[in-house]
Structure 1
C-alpha cells in the first residue's frame, strides 16, 4: 500500500530554530557544528533530478524524477533510510515505449508521480510537446500516460494513455478500491495570465479508464495565483484529504501550498498559513532557491517526510545542476503540516531524528567500459544510448557510431551523457577517432546552450561555447594525433578550464549554460559525443568531484 494512506504520525522535534547551516564534515559522514548534529545534506541525489515523487512499500522507499528529453527516462531510486539512494532502473527503458524523436530540450517527460497499490507500482507522467501559436508543433504523441510494474526495477509496461486531458503533472491517489487521477491545466478562459486549475477525475480500477466527471478543485492559494501545479492528494492524518500543490512558477517565487477536504472530490479549503514552505522571501542570496513541487511519505515509525525540488545558487546566480531533489522532515501541528519544523527552510545540511547519518557521497566515478552493458546512468537526448553506443565491438571501450546531428540539432545525437554531479567537477576522457568524425567531451544544457571540447579527424581540436544558439570558438589547437586523445573540462562553479592533451585552451564563462533561462528546465549533462560519419572509441570517462 502506498504510504499516503497510513495512520496519523507522531510528533518529533526538528532542528532548533536559528542554528547556522555552516558546518564541517566529520569522519563518519555526519555533518557537525558545536551546537547540533546534522544527519544529512541536501540535495539527496547528485545532479539534475527535478520534480521528485516518493512512495513507500514496507521498509523501502521509491523515488522518481523528471527527465524531459533524455532516455532512458524517469529513473527509479530506492532507499531504506531516505538519505542514501540507489538507482535501480527506469520506467521508460526500452524501444517502443515512447518516441521522443525531434523533441526539443525542456519538453518531453514532465513531473512523474510514483505510487504502489495492491502489488503493483504505477508511474504517471506527461509527454509535453512544444507549442507554436497555441498549437502543438511536434508530430509525436503527447499527453498523460501511466506505466506499471510488479517490481520497481522493471520491466515496466507499455504506456496506457489518458485521452482528452490537457495540462501537466498527473498524480494518482488510491482510496481503498477507488482510484483518482488529478493534474493541472491552464484555465479556459483564464481570468489572468498564468491562471491554472487543478482537476480531478475517478478512474476504473481495472482499466484505469476515466469513469467520472472532471472537476476543478483548486486554483491556487493566493489571489491571482499563477502556475498552481504538481498536485498530490494524500490521506490527511486524523481523516480527510490534503492537496499539496506548487505555486508561483519554478523560479524564485516557487512555493508549496496545501488545501484540505473531508471528501476527496472536495470542496478544498486552503490552509490559512499558505504557503507552507517557500524560499521566495530569501531572494537570490540563499544557497538553495526555487523550493517547491513537494510530495509526502510516512515512515514505518510514524514520522513524515517531504521531498521537493530546489536549485543551488552560486553567489546569488543559478548554477549548472538544475533543479534537484531535497528532503525535509514534516510534523503535524493542529493537523497542519510543518515542513522543516523549527526553521521552515530547506538547508544544505539538515538535522533530523529518524534517519541515520548519511553515507559520504562518492567523489569519483570512472567508467572503463569493461562491462558488456552500459551503466544505466548513461543517457542520451531523444534516443536510447544503445542505438549508437556499443560495448562489445571493441572490448574495454565503448564505440560511438557518429550521427550527422550537431549538438545544436534536434535529430539523433550520439551523445553519451550523465548528470553533472557537482559544481566543482573534473571531467576527463580518452578517445580514438576513425572516419570523417569529430568527437570529444560535451557539457550540455540544451541544443542552444552547450560547451564542446572536440577533436576532428584532421587532428584539429576546438573548444566551442553556444550561448542562446550562437556558437563562439573559445580556443583551437592543431597537430593532435587521433589515437589516445586526452580531453578534460574542469568545472569550477560558473567557469571551466579546457585541456586537450598538454594544451590548455583557456577558460570559459559558463553562465550561458546555467539553468533557469526561458524554457530551460534541465540542468547540465556531461559526457562524450560523436558527430559525422565514422566512429569514436572511448577508452574511459572519469568524473571527479573536487573537495
Structure 2
C-alpha cells in the first residue's frame, strides 16, 4: 500500500483546543474562540487532513456573554459530541465561570440557547452511555490538588443527578485539564492534559474497567509531548481528543504551536490543530505519534492514496465568507459593517483598539509566517482606518491612514504593553485612497504604503512582541480591518492576504 505524507498543522492559525466527533463518513471539529465572536468555530472533513469551515456554535449574544470581557477570557475549550442524532457542544465562559451545553440537530444551522451545568472547572467533557450522560471538568480536591471531576447530568436541563466525584489526579504535572472519556473495548480511558499550554504541555491518560474508576495511569506517560524537543518548530503539544476512522484506525487531534525560529522560543500565530496517529497494543494501552512526539510531517498508510492535502494560499473578500472565516471583537454593532464582494465599508465609533470593548473591527486569522497583506483604504471623516496585526488590546501593530487638520497621513503605530509608540508618519494627498502593505516573515513585519505608484516604507517591527510569551493569554495574531472615530467611514477594497 502506498504511504501518504501529510503536514502539520492540519488547521493553521489561531484555532486552539480541538475536539472532534464522527457522524457517518464525516468528521466534525470544534475549537475555542475566547473574546472573538461568533464563538466556537466549526469544521468538517471527509479525510481527517483537509478541513473546511462550516460555521460557529455560538452565533447570538444570548448564547454567550462577551460584553467587555478581557482578552483571553470568554469562550474556553469546547467538546463536541454526537448522540442519538443530535450534536452537543459543551464549553466554559471563563469570565462568568459558567459551564454550559448547546445542541443542534443541524450542524449547519443554529444551535440552542445555553443549558448551564452547576459543576465548575474548565474544559468540560460529555460522555454518553445508554440513556445516561456524564459530565467531566477539572477541579480541586480537599487538599487543593488538581483532579478530574465527574457527575451524571440530565442532558435536557443540565441538572446534576449525582454529586461531583473525583476520578483521577493525573501524573503530577501542573494544570491538570482537558478531560475526555472513551469506552474502547472493555476499558474506560480518561485522557487529559498536564503541564500548562506552553512548552511543558503534554497528553496523559489512565484507564479503568469501571466508569467511576479507580483509574490506573499509563505506565509510560506522557503518551504525547514535544516538551523535550528543544529547538524543534512544533511545541506545546497537548489537549487532545481521540477519534476512530472508518477503517478502524485511531488518531489524536490536539493543539500545538509553531515557534518562530529554531532557537527563538516565541509564538504569535496562536495554538493550532495538529494530527498524530494512535496505535492500540495487545495489552490495551495505546501509544501516539512518532515515539510519543508530534512531527511536522507524518508518513502513513492509514489514509487513502487519493487524498491530497490542500493548501489555500490566497484569502480575499471574494473567496472567503464573513460568517465562516471572519470574526469580531466581542459583540459587534452590525450596522457598522457592510461587506460586498470586493468591498468592506466600516463605520467607526469612539471605541479604540486599546480598549477591552467592541471597536469597529473585522479580522481573519494569520495562518502562516510568510505573507503579504494588502488593502486599498479610502477614508472620510476625522478619524483613522487601517490594518492591525492584533494580539490583544495591549499588543497590536497598526498601519493606518488618518485625518489631521484636513491633512491625510499614513501612520505606523506599535503598541507593546504600556508602550504606545508612533513609529512613523507620512503626509499624503488629501482625499486620496492609499494601498497599505504588510510583509510578514517569521521574525519581522515590514510596513509600507503605496500612493501614486510609489512605495513609501514606514518601518518594521518584531513578531515576538505580539507573541503569547510577551503578551500572555491564549489567542494568536489576527489581521484586523478597523475604523475609529464617530464620523469616520472607511472603504476597504482589493484586500488580499497571500501566503508565500
TM interval, shorter chain, is: over 0.9
Per-residue Cα deviation, 1:193-213 (whole angstroms, up to 9, x for no partner): xx4221000012443321011
The aligned counterpart of 1:412 is 358
Alpha-carbon spacing, 1:241–1:517, altered in 2? closer, same or farther (3 Å): farther
Could you tell me whether the CA contact under 8 Å between 1:320 and 1:494 is conserved in 2?
Answer: no
* 1:155 equivalent among 92, 110, 133: 110
Shift of 1:187: 4.4
The aligned counterpart of 2:41 is 75
Secondary structure at the residue paired with 1:89?
Answer: strand
Mind listing any 5+ residue stretches in structure 2 that lack a counterpart?
none
The reply to whether residue 91 of structure 1 matches residue 57 of structure 2 is yes
CA–CA distance in 2 between the matches of 1:249 and 1:544? 33
Mind listing any 5+ residue stretches in structure 1 that lack a counterpart?
1-12, 14-35, 130-140
The reply to whether residue 239 of structure 1 matches residue 190 of structure 2 is no
Shift of 1:240: 2.3
CA–CA distance in 2 between the matches of 1:527 and 1:482? 23
The aligned counterpart of 1:167 is 121
The aligned counterpart of 2:442 is 493
Aligned positions of 1:143-542 closer than 5 A = 143-163=98-118, 165-190=119-144, 195-222=145-172, 225-236=173-184, 238-283=185-230, 285-315=231-261, 316=263, 317-333=265-281, 334-340=283-289, 342-356=290-304, 357-368=307-318, 374-384=322-332, 386-391=334-339, 396-457=342-403, 458-501=407-450, 502-517=455-470, 519-533=472-486, 534-542=488-496
Could you tell me whether the CA contact under 8 Å between 2:383 and 2:483 is conserved in 1?
Answer: yes
Shift of 1:469: 3.2
Secondary structure at the residue paired with 2:65?
Answer: coil
TM-score by length of 1: 0.86
CA–CA distance in 2 between the matches of 1:150 and 1:69? 26
Secondary structure at the residue paired with 1:106?
Answer: coil
Shift of 1:101: 1.0
Shift of 1:368: 4.6
Shift of 1:152: 1.3
CA–CA distance in 2 between the matches of 1:529 and 1:514? 21
CA–CA distance in 2 between the matches of 1:183 and 1:353? 35
Task: Give the CA RMSD over aligned residues.
Answer: 1.9
Per-residue Cα deviation, 1:160-202 (whole angstroms, up to 9, x for no partner): 1113x22210010111111100001244542xxxx42210000
Per-residue Cα deviation, 1:410-466 (whole angstroms, up to 9, x for no partner): 121111101101011111111111112200000001111110001112312111111
Could you tell me whether the CA contact under 8 Å between 1:311 and 1:318 is conserved in 2?
Answer: no
Alpha-carbon spacing, 1:126–1:440, altered in 2? closer, same or farther (3 Å): same
CA–CA distance in 1 between the matches of 2:479 and 2:3? 34
Shift of 1:142: 3.7
Could you tell me whether the CA contact under 8 Å between 2:10 and 2:274 is conserved in 1?
Answer: yes
Shift of 1:385: 7.0
CA–CA distance in 1 between the matches of 2:332 and 2:86? 26
Secondary structure at the residue paired with 1:376?
Answer: helix
Could you tell me whether the CA contact under 8 Å between 2:115 and 2:157 is conserved in 1?
Answer: no
CA–CA distance in 2 between the matches of 1:170 and 1:508? 39
Shift of 1:294: 0.5
The aligned counterpart of 1:123 is 89
Secondary structure at the residue paired with 1:305?
Answer: strand
Could you tell me whether the CA contact under 8 Å between 1:170 and 1:231 is conserved in 2?
Answer: yes
Secondary structure at the residue paired with 2:228?
Answer: helix
* 2:20 equivalent among 28, 51, 54: 54
CA–CA distance in 2 between the matches of 1:204 and 1:368? 45
Could you tell me whether the CA contact under 8 Å between 1:67 and 1:109 is conserved in 2?
Answer: yes
CA–CA distance in 2 between the matches of 1:518 and 1:344? 30
Per-residue Cα deviation, 1:265-324 (whole angstroms, up to 9, x for no partner): 1111111111111111123x0110010001001111110111011110122322321111
Moved more, 197-206 or 509-518: 509-518
Per-residue Cα deviation, 1:205-244 (whole angstroms, up to 9, x for no partner): 443321011011112113xx310100000112x2120000
Moved more, 99-108 or 515-524: 515-524
Shift of 1:517: 3.8
Moved more, 417-426 or 534-543: 534-543
CA–CA distance in 2 between the matches of 1:388 and 1:159? 27
